């Protein structure tokens, strides 16, 4: 994917995005494991909001996991990244405050490979602002699709199945399904 001869000692931002159940975290973990095989120093971060699978790891829906530091906000990441770290991975970037965009840029400008994964849109099909900003600033973008739970077509929408109207509700199959454009039903918000 990335030619290390071109990007030697130069940082960059990679964004892995898509709807729920599209394999974003799985891809983040795959890239991290590849960096570890290459003997690169990696640090991983997740938001304290995401407590689905514990607070000391990044865990995919398939239960693949890697150890991570959980932080309350984006500024904590800058404080925790060590000088000799080569790769910084951040999962559920959509849970972070808007400062995460500047954090990612600062890290990339310091020569670090920054890999982030997160939802591109919420359950109303509205863009998450931090993900949209990172998509515009990233050197590499991967948009994953899931499989529609209704018809089996490629899915790019996240359908909330609960009645909750808060923008962020942490959940898995108990609260969300992947849907294609045809099967997705935009919720009526009162």
Domains and CATH numbers, the chain: 4-144 (3.40.50.300)
CB proximity list for 35: less than 8 A, separation 6 or greater:
42, 86, 87, 113
How far CA 45 is from CA of 76, 90, 138, 186, in Å, comes to 10, 5, 18, 32
Provide mean pLDDT across the span 22-41.
95
Is residue 14 annotated as part of the catalytic site, yes or no?
no
pLDDT in tens, 74-95: 999 999 999 999 999 999 999 9
Closest of 123, 115, 72, 116 to residue 97, by C-alpha: 72
Block residue for tokens 């990244």:
81
Q: What is the dihedral of CA 99, 82, 67, 34, to 10 degrees?
A: 100
Rounded to 10°, the helix 129-137/99-109 angle is: 20
Report the range of poorest mean pLDDT among 52-61, 109-118, 147-156: 52-61
For the chain, what is the mean pLDDT?
89
Catalytic residue (one of 14, 26, 76, 92): 92
pLDDT in tens, 162-187: 888 888 877 666 789 999 999 999 99
Report pLDDT for 59.
Answer: 62
How far CA 10 is from CA of 73, 134, 137, 163, in Å, comes to 26, 18, 15, 46
CA 20 to centroid of chain Cα atoms: 10
Report pLDDT for 48.
Answer: 82
Query: CB atoms < 10 A from the CB of 128, how many?
Result: 21
pLDDT in tens, 41-59: 999 999 887 665 566 756 6
40: left (phi over 0), alpha (psi -120 to 50) or beta: beta
């Amino acid at each position: 994917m990335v030619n290390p001869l071109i990007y030697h000692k130069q940082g960059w931002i990679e964004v892995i995005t898509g709807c729920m159940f599209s394999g974003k975290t799985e891809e983040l973990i795959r890239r991290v494991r590849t960096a570890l095989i290459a003997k690169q120093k990696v640090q991983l971060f997740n938001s304290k909001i995401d407590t689905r699978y514990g607070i000391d790891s990044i865990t995919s829906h398939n239960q693949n996991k890697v150890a991570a530091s959980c932080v309350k906000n984006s500024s904590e990441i800058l404080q925790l990244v060590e000088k000799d770290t080569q790769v910084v991975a951040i999962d559920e970037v959509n849970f972070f405050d808007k400062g995460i965009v500047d954090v990612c840029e600062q890290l990339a400008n310091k020569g670090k490979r920054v890999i982030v994964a997160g939802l591109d849109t919420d359950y109303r099909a509205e863009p998450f602002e931090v993900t949209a900003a990172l998509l515009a600033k990233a050197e590499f973008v991967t948009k994953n699709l899931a499989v529609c739970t209704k018809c089996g077509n490629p899915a790019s929408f996240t359908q909330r199945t609960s009645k909750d109207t808060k923008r962020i509700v942490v959940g898995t199959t108990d609260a969300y399904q992947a849907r294609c454009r045809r099967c997705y039903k935009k919720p009526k918000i009162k």
